[in-house]
Amino acid sequence: SAEVLDKHLSMVQRDHEQKSQIVERRIRDDAAVEEAKRREQSMKEEKIKQERARQEAEARQKATAKLAADAQKAAYEAAQKEAAEKEAAKSRAEAVSTSSQIPQNSVAHATMATSTEIKSELPGIKIYADSSALEAESRRRTLHDQVPSNIYLSKEYSRYDRQIGKSISKLMPTTD
C-alpha cells in the first residue's frame, strides 16, 4: 500500500509539475507577445517622429528659402527706390535751377505751387509732385532705411516695438 501511495503521490506531483510548466509557458508566450507589441509600437512611434522631423526640416528649409527670396526682392526694390530717389533729387535740382531763372515778379509764379516731375520706374510714366511732398517722402524713406529690413528676425525687435509704441502713444491724444 505504501508503493501505491508513493506512485499516486509521484503521479500527482508529476501532473502538478506538468500543469505548472504549461502555465509558465503560457506566461512566457504572453510576455513575448507583449514585448513584440511594445517593440512594434515603439518602431511606429519612431517612424512618426522621424517623419515629423523631416517635415519640420522641410518647412524650415522652405521658410529660409522664402526669407532669402524676400530679402533679395527687398534689396532689388531698395535699389530701385534709391535710383528713383537719385532721379528725383536730380529733377528737383533741375527744377530749382529753372525756377531761379523765372522772373521773381511774375504773378503766375507767386500763385502757383512748385511742382516737380519725377521719372517713374515704369517707362513712359511721369509723376508730378509738390516739393513739400517730395521732402516728406524723402524723410519717410530715411526713417524707413534706419530700421533694419530683417528686424522681425532679431531679438531687438521687441525693443523697436516698444519704442514705436511709445512714439505712437506720445502722438495720440489722450481721452479723459
Q: How would you write the pLDDT of the chain (176 residues) with one tens digit per residue?
A: 889 999 999 999 999 999 999 999 999 999 999 999 999 999 999 999 999 999 999 999 999 989 888 888 888 888 888 888 888 888 877 777 765 554 444 433 333 445 555 555 556 666 677 888 878 888 888 877 776 665 555 665 666 677 777 877 777 776 65
Q: What grid cell was written down for 36?
A: 513584440
Nearest CA among 78, 84, 93 for reference residue 120 = 84
Rounding to the nearest 10 degrees, give the CA dihedral for residues 24, 28, 34, 35. Answer: 150
- For the chain, the structural domain boundaries read 1-65, 114-176
N-to-C CA span, the chain: 114
Q: What grid cell was written down for 11?
A: 503521479
Instruction: State which amino acid sits at residue 102.
Output: I
Distance CA(123)–CA(100), nearest Å, equals 29
pTM of the model: 0.35
Find out whether 157 and 168 touch, Cβ atoms under 8 Å.
no
Nearest CA among 140, 146, 174, 139 for reference residue 160 = 146
Q: HSE, CB side, 13 Å, CA atoms: give it for residue 176.
A: 0
* Cross-strand partners of 117: 128
In this structure, is the dihedral angle defined by the CA atoms of residues 146, 150, 152 and 153, taken in order, positive or negative? negative
